[in-house]
Every structure is written in C-alpha cells, then in structure tokens.
Structure 1
C-alpha cells in the first residue's frame, strides 16, 4: 500500500521541474528563431548559426553570394540549403538554376519549378516570360504576365515595356486580345498605357479590331484613347473613320463639320467630339440655359480666379475650301478686358485660319459668324478652340454661354 503513495510523491516532485524544462526549451527555441529572423536581414550566415534550417537566411546568403561572385560554390550550397529548409518556396530553385555547375537543361527545369512555386516572385516569373517570348510562345507569355499582374499589381509599371512590345507585334496581338477579352482587373489601367506607348496608333489597329469582336468589346474610354493616339500620330483619316464606326445611330445624327454643335451629347473623350477640360477658376458644363436650343447649351462660369482659358476644343476634318463658322452666344458680366472668342487653326502647324469677334458684356442671345479658308496643302485637320482673347492677365468673373455652332461650306 506504500508504493502508490511513493509514486504520487515522485510525480508531484518532478512535474514542476519538467514543466520548467519545457518552458526553458520553448523560450530558448523562440529566442533562437527571433535571433535568426533578425540576423537574416543583416547577416544571413550568422542567422544560420542560430537556426541552420532558416530558409529565408539561406536564400539571402545565396543571393549575397550571387552578387559577390556568381560563379562561387557558395551560391549552389546556400540555394540547396534554402530548398532543403523550405522546398515549397521557388526562390531557392531560381537561384540554383543560375548557379555555376548547373547544367542548362536542369537549369530550365529549376526555373520552371521556381515559377510554379513562387507566383509572386518577379524574378522567377520573368525568366519564364522571357523564355516564352524568346520562343514566340505568346499565349504562355501572356498567361504568365496576367498571373503576375494579378498577384503583384504594385510592380505593374515594370511590365509595361513587355506589354507594349506585345501590343505592337502582329503575331502577339491575338494572345494579348484573348487575355484582355477576359477583362482582367489590370485592363483599364494598363491598356491606356499600352495605347500611349505603342510603336504607333496604326500598329494597334488589328488589336482593336480583335477586341471589338469579343463579348466585352472596347470601352468608350479605350476607343477614345486609341483615336487620340492616331490624331497625335497625324493619322487623321484613319482616326476619323474609326471614330465614325464607334458611334451609335443616334450619335451619328450629330455628325457634321462640327460634331454636336448644340452640345446635346455627353462627350466620350474622342478628339472629334467636344473636349471639356478642367481648369482652375472656371466651371465648364453642358447645361440647360434659358433661350438655348434643344436640351443643353455650353455654359462656362468664371469665379474670379481664371487667368488663362483655352479648354473647350474639338478636332475638325475639313476639306480645302471656303467656310463660315456661325453660332449663338450669351454673356453675363464678362468684362471686355477678359473677352473670349472661337478660333480655328491647322492642327499640324497651328496656322491661324479664323477667329470670331470677341464676346463680352452683359446681353441676351446673339448670333455671330466668321468666314475662313482652309488651304489645300498642310492643313489636313483643324482645331477649334474657345479661348480668352485679352492680353490682360487679370482674373475674370461672369458667365458665357454658347449654342448652335456650325460650319457650313460657302
């Protein structure tokens, strides 16, 4: 009967000691892990002394060795240590793939493993993308780019040159169009950059055509960005035809030498429509105005801050010949020193073609007109702009309204 009592006594004596040992071990282990983590950012080899299986430290040590001497034996040694510590991390495979002594065929396999296991590692993905581009495997290149843009949107700007190159390469455009047709989250931001940086607006024509045939189609903003690029490239005829094709039957009713001279339509951003640009000190809007025609007129309200104004524009495509610009205007408290007018010039070289009389004062709707000539050479496209005419730099207040603008051949 004494033995159970003896065992209980021993258990009671050793239990606290065992718990203390476990706590000491756990504390030391935690301390070692913390020290390894801290050293891994500064001295990877010191981190490995605290924790030999520290994958991040081994990887950092391998990368340090690469920068010091890419052919060093230490590169392979540390990268293998990283793989051994954490085989699911692809970065160790990527470093080992380029280490001295790694056979080319093995290196390719290692790079593929790295890309598969580390989808967020830019260097791992970049190798596979470059290899796909080298072999003209554009579908795979776009698949990898799409994955990288989704997982690492913060580095998207580094991928712009590759996307621009694909957009400008006829053989690659079908793969890019197929990816864009799936409406990836990066499409809106990246596509505008692609259009602006492509080799030319004309080079994007097959891509735009392919996208228009997809269920997602091309947004008004994307179409406008492309047309603006064509105009910037002075491909006025191609740009105008592309714009006409993008209009709905209702919108086509407003097409003329000036598009939508009554300001009835919401502009899409295309240069052949009204571009109402933001400017400090002026509120530019399509609005219902008493005495205006239709539902809307153009209204500009100045608040005594605006000193320069040339922010209502449209690109025209007038054939050589004689024309008359006409319209109606209404002024509310516009000082004569801050008068305004409509001016037309050649888009290519800025050569002045016409300007209306100045608008100022305080009066109800009045008609205005101005005759002008479009020369035969060197003026394929034109630009009309509403601007301040006075040289007086003082700020302006008041309101100006316009409606029923038209250009008719004389």
Structure 2
C-alpha cells in the first residue's frame, strides 16, 4: 500500500501532438483532393478546369489555347500570360501569346515568339504553320520553306496543302525557286510526292523543268527516273521545243548526239532518248553487251554491244523505238546487221518517222536470207539510207524497228549494232 502511494503519476500528453495529428489529417485530405483534382482538371472543359485548379500553369495554358481557338483573343492572351508567370518555359502558353500577337498586335513580336516556340519543339505545328505564312508574306522563302519542310516530314496529311503552297510560290515569284531547290537537294522524304504533285498543276511541267535546270549542278539533281518523268511529260504534251531546250540545258543525255547508244551498251536509258524495247507475244528483243562486232573506234578488239531480235514472223509491233530531235536537213542512217538463223520472205525496217506523220521520212530495209545461214556465221553487213527532215511539221522524230512478213510463220533471229545518224554530205 505504501509502495503504491509512492508511484509517480503518468505523464501528461503534450498539446503539440494533438496539433500535429490534426495537421497530418489536413495534409492527407489536401493531398487526396489534389489526386482527385488533377484528373478532373485534365478532363473538364477549360473554364471549369481553371476554377478547379487556378494555379496550374498546365491548366491555364490549355485554357488559353481553347480560348484562342474560340476566337476570344483577350481571354486567351490573359490566360497564357498567367501560365507563363508560373512556368516561363511553357511551350503551349508561349505559342498562344505569339498567335494572339500575330492576330491583334505586333507581327514582328509574334514572329520572334513563335520562332522561339518552333525552335523549342519541331512538333509545334501551329507555330510552324504561322511562321510559314508570315515568312512568305515577307518574301523570306528560305525560312518559310525550312519550316514547311519540318511540317511535311512529320505530317503527311498536310503535304497536299504544303505542295500547293510551294507550287504557287514558284509560279508567282521566280525568287522562290532556288530556295525550294535547296530543300529538295537534301532529298527529303516528301521529294518524290512533291514532284509528282507538280504534274497535276496547269503549269506544273514548266515548274518542274525550271527546278531541274536550277538543280542541275547540285548533288541532289534530278535522278534519271525524275528526269525521264519530266521528259516524257513534255513529249506527251507536245512541248517539243521546251523538251529540246531542257535537254540542251541539262545535257542529259548528251545533247550533241543525234542517236543515243547506237551500239546498245548502256545499262539504262532516260526515255524518250535511248532505246524503248518492246515486250510482246511472238518476239523477244534484248540489248546485249559484248555481243556485237569489234569496235574499231575504241582502239582494241573488244566486241561492242548489239540488239538481238528473235521473231516468229507473225507480229507487226514496233520492236524498238527512240525519239530524236533532228533539225531540218538531210541525214544518213548507218548500221550493221547479222542474221543468226532462219530463212523467209520477212523484212526488218529501220524507219525514221516524224511525230504525227503517217509515212516514214526514211527507211532502211533488211531482208531475211532465202536460205538459212549457219548459226556460227559472224558476218556483219553494213546498211545505210539517206532521208530528209522537212522544215515544217517534224520537230521530233522516232527511229523505230518494225518487222513485216508476207509469207508463212517462221522463226528468225537477227542482230543489229553500230547504228548512227550523221549529216549527209
């Protein structure tokens, strides 16, 4: 009993512990509210999101862009500037301030702001779009096309609008052409689509020709395929003089050669200059290297190339064709032929035909032998014919090979090489 009376009383709880517990509870409640608030603010309409989280730079920036899209420029500007006060590097808010300035204020300041936004993010499409328009208005084609390149690389769905912008700029202001040529010289992924789009425009062929000539000495010059597309478009449109001038300017293929690859040695051609060999039933046509007679002009005995034609005597198709751009005057077609085997009444003719003409201006006819020749025969027989290119109605011509057989079906193989067109003496 005495011992119990001597025990000390239990310690009293500190009031600070009660305050701490209350504070912790309040903090947990606030934290829970923030956890709920963030998704609510993200999903709510802009005006409600601002009420829910008026101190969030992200919410303010989202609201400012929503106001800008709705055309309420004053609200958009105020909200964006509030966002920038809280987060100076908020790209969305910076963009909105720049776009509002561009609509209602200082376009020079807008250009600076949106340039900064565009440099911060290559994915800021709105900034790049505004900068393209503004730089074009100022005639700053280099910068405008650089921003357009950024958009075209990222968003294929806006490429048609950008391509139309490029085409319009080149059609209306020749100063824009070198800048666009500079972008194309880097071979961007949209290059082929853009060049194809040019041919859908009324003046697209002329624009494409202008680009090809501007780019002729650059590393990104028109490829053989792109140049063939341009040449074929000019030829099909009947723009023969333009075709002549573009070929002379580019010298591809060499403009000084009346006939390209008369020895059939080239691996590829830029049509319509070069050989267009037919594919069809009843015949086979192929250019083969080292299958022709020795080429004495190269100083050695290496065989040249040759054109091999296998024919069953039934088809009248054009077997080989090449477009020429001979000036009016008198010319001579030279060549060599060799029969590998077969005998019939069939003939093969090299014809030079003016575009749109019904009859050839000149024709070299090679008749089949009446008796079959040994397969080992290596006899190459020269042939030649003179013809006149008239002064009118013959701006372009086609040299073409055709077969004619008045007799029965037969199997023949003939070779050609060393074709050449020279001025007649």
Q: CA deviation at 1:60?
A: 6.4
Return the TM-score normalized by structure 2.
Answer: 0.59
Mapped pair 1:403 → 2:417:
yes
For residue 63 of structure 2, what is the aligned residue in structure 1?
58
For residue 298 of structure 2, what is the aligned residue in structure 1?
none
Q: CA deviation at 1:377?
A: 0.9
For residue 375 of structure 1, what is the aligned residue in structure 2?
390
For residue 241 of structure 1, what is the aligned residue in structure 2?
248
Q: How many residues align?
A: 368
For residue 319 of structure 1, what is the aligned residue in structure 2?
327
Mapped pair 1:328 → 2:329:
no
Deviations 1:203-231 (A, max 9, x none): 677765654555x3735536555655665
Question: Matched residues in 2 for 1:298 and 1:359: separation?
Answer: 17
For residue 394 of structure 1, what is the aligned residue in structure 2?
none
**Gap runs ≥5 in structure 1:** 391-396
Deviations 1:164-192 (A, max 9, x none): 344453323343455556x3534853674
Question: Matched residues in 2 for 1:237 and 1:284: separation?
Answer: 29
Q: CA deviation at 1:316?
A: 0.3
Counting only pairs closer than 5 Å after superposition, residues 343-354 of structure 1 correspond to structure 2 as: 344-347=352-355, 349=356, 352-353=359-360
Mapped pair 1:218 → 2:233:
no
Question: Matched residues in 2 for 1:121 and 1:212: separation?
Answer: 34
For residue 130 of structure 1, what is the aligned residue in structure 2?
133
Mapped pair 1:113 → 2:113:
yes
**Gap runs ≥5 in structure 2:** 1-9, 295-302, 406-410
Mapped pair 1:159 → 2:162:
yes
Q: CA deviation at 1:144?
A: 2.8
CA contact (8 A) 2:231 2:272 kept: yes
CA RMSD, 1 decimal: 5.7
Mapped pair 1:297 → 2:306:
yes
SS in 1 for 2:175: coil
SS in 2 for 1:58: helix
Deviations 1:326-368 (A, max 9, x none): 55376899xx99x997654434x46553677699999869867
For residue 272 of structure 2, what is the aligned residue in structure 1?
271
Q: CA deviation at 1:137?
A: 2.2
Question: Matched residues in 2 for 1:44 and 1:400: separation?
Answer: 81
Q: CA deviation at 1:287?
A: 2.5
Return the TM-score normalized by structure 1.
Answer: 0.61
CA contact (8 A) 1:274 1:314 kept: yes
SS in 2 for 1:383: strand
CA contact (8 A) 1:327 1:406 kept: no
Q: CA 1:134–1:225 in 2, change beyond 3 Å: closer, same or farther?
A: same
CA contact (8 A) 1:227 1:242 kept: no
Question: Matched residues in 2 for 1:135 and 1:141: separation?
Answer: 9
Q: CA deviation at 1:295?
A: 4.0
Q: CA 1:62–1:73 in 2, change beyond 3 Å: closer, same or farther?
A: same
Counting only pairs closer than 5 Å after superposition, residues 3-402 of structure 1 correspond to structure 2 as: 39=43, 53=56, 54-55=58-59, 58=63, 61-62=66-67, 65=70, 70=71, 88=89, 90-95=91-96, 103-105=104-106, 108-118=108-118, 119-150=122-153, 152=155, 155-168=158-171, 169-179=173-183, 183=186, 185-186=188-189, 189=192, 192-193=195-196, 196=199, 199=203, 211-212=215-216, 216=219, 218=221, 220-221=223-224, 231=235, 233-234=239-240, 235-244=242-251, 246=252, 256-269=257-270, 271-275=272-276, 286-288=287-289, 290=291, 294-298=303-307, 313-321=321-329, 323=331, 325=333, 328=337, 344-347=352-355, 349=356, 352-353=359-360, 373-385=388-400, 402=416
Q: CA 1:204–1:32 in 2, change beyond 3 Å: closer, same or farther?
A: same
Q: CA 1:64–1:359 in 2, change beyond 3 Å: closer, same or farther?
A: farther
SS in 1 for 2:360: strand
Q: CA deviation at 1:403?
A: 3.2
Q: CA 1:274–1:84 in 2, change beyond 3 Å: closer, same or farther?
A: farther
Question: Matched residues in 2 for 1:309 and 1:47: separation?
Answer: 75
Question: Matched residues in 2 for 1:179 and 1:402: separation?
Answer: 45
Higher Rg: 2
Q: Which moved more, 1:357-366 or 1:113-122?
A: 357-366
SS in 2 for 1:266: coil
Q: CA 1:91–1:258 in 2, change beyond 3 Å: closer, same or farther?
A: same
Q: CA deviation at 1:96?
A: 5.2
